[in-house]
Structure 1
Amino acid sequence: MQPDIRKIVTYQEDVLVEGFKPAAEPWVMCAAAAVVKNPWAGRFVEDLSPVIQAFGPPLGALLTERVTAMTGSGERIEAFGKAAVVGLDGEIEHASGLIHTLRFGNHFRQAVGAKSYLAFTNTRGGANAPIQIPLMDKNDAGRRSHYLTVHFAISDAPRADELVIALGAATSGRPHHRIGDRYQDLKEMGHDVDNPAAV
């Protein structure tokens, strides 16, 4: 069983000026999305696992390949995330099922050499629904400079019986980040940030 893919959409923005100030290097944010027929659309299916196990690896591999091609390599990616939007004849559980599996996400994590988990959204919507992929640092979940969102839409997807499955990435954090990170706040609150169990 293989996913029935109608099309693949890629999105990229290279930010040269942010906040009225030039970026030292172009700030690249990008995404790759697959528009897939939802095999569970229009009915309740108790056991989703056969499809999840079959669809996860090829979708994870395909989208990882597309995203890393846009950045030039997995090594260049500093922030990453994933998202799914299910069409109106599907359940949120369908969107969740296809992205919340190691068979899907581990392709991306391994390609970028990540330690962090993938930030995510799973939503329902019709054609042109916003696809919002939250990103975070691939190795440090507390690094606020890399709290980002890749935001785009596909004008004809998802149809009612489709899913949009997407991966997103950035080659850096915000160009002029200056709000500190999570650990600074924790220190100010008296937490021992060198001992994660104490936080």
Structure 2
Amino acid sequence: MNVDVRKIVVGVEDVRHDGGPKLDKPILKGFVAAIVKNPFAGRYVEDIQGMMDALKPLGLECSTTLLKAMGGDPKSIEGYGKGSVVGTAGELEHGALWHVPGGYAMRELLGQALSIVPSMTKIGTVGTILDIPLHHKDAAYVRSHFDGITAFVADSPRPDEIMFTLAMATGGRPHPRMGGLTQDQISKWDGQR
């Protein structure tokens, strides 16, 4: 199955503070979006799983592109997430095709990444905003890393396209004060705690 990519867009935020004291080191939060032709647009297809395998190289390309935009050091990445916006001629299940190719590619690239990759999938029109959830890559319950990043591409997705996204962060929220499990308290190394 052919994966027809129209374009790839990258955005990186350099967060220096969030109204509190300036951080010693800014937190980078970034996303990459691949705009892909939806081969299933406009019709119901029962067996679509073959596209998951076809998307695996794109998952690795997007992960590598985003990591490079964020400085290139996999050890600097603390959080991640993914998502997709399916154009109006598609269905939610088409966006779910990104779970394995996107999530596993990031985990492979980052080395130790035990936590499930949080995700959001929705149907949308051109310019639809996608809020990608983020959490800690090794322990989903690290409360300081419950965050997100907003991604959109002005001309995407068209009705017969899917916008597949990945997101990474070099830290959690800038001034966490809500308690709970902290990054230095990860002890079980089970993806949760």
Relative to the length of structure 2, the TM-score reads 0.89
Equivalent position of 1:107 in the other structure: 105
Q: Does residue 183 of structure 2 align to residue 178 of structure 1?
A: no
1:73-127 deviation line (CA, Å, top 9, x unaligned) = 221110001001000000001001x2222x4421111211201010000111001
Shift of 1:20: 3.8
Matched, 1:50 2:50: yes
**Contact persistence 1:41–1:161 (CA under 8 A):** yes
Inter-partner Cα distance in structure 1 for 2:145 and 2:24: 16
Counterpart code for 2:36: V
Equivalent residue for 2:40?
A: 40
Distance 2:52 2:140 in 1: 27
Q: What CA RMSD, in Å, does the superposition of the two structures yield over aligned residues?
A: 1.8
Aligned to 2:129: 130
Gaps of 5+ in 1: 184-192
Are 1:146 and 2:142 matched, yes or no? no
Matches within 5 A, 1:48-87: 48-55=48-55, 57-71=56-70, 72-87=72-87
- Aligned residue type for 1:86: V
Structure (1 or 2) with the greater strand fraction: 1
Structure 1: how far apart are the matches of 2:29 and 2:142? 17
Aligned amino acid, residue 30 of structure 2: C
Q: Deviations over 1:23-56 (max 9, x none)?
A: 221111001110000000000001001222212x
In the other structure, the counterpart of 1:155 is 154
Amino acid at match of 2:92: I
2:22 is matched with 22
User: 2:20, 2:175 within 8 Å by CA — same for their partners in 1?
Assistant: no
- Equivalenced residue count is 183
Q: 1:21 offset after TM fit, Å?
A: 2.4
Runs of 4+ deviating beyond 6 Å: none
TM-score (norm 1): 0.87
Specify the code of the residue in structure 2 equivalent to 1:17. Answer: H
How far apart are residue 12 of structure 1 and its match?
Answer: 0.7
> Residue 169 of structure 1 aligns to which amino acid in structure 2?
M
1:104/1:154 CA distance change after superposition, 3 Å: closer
CA distance in 1 between counterparts of 2:48 and 2:12 reads 32
Would the aligned equivalents of 2:102 and 2:166 in 1 still touch at CA under 8 Å? no
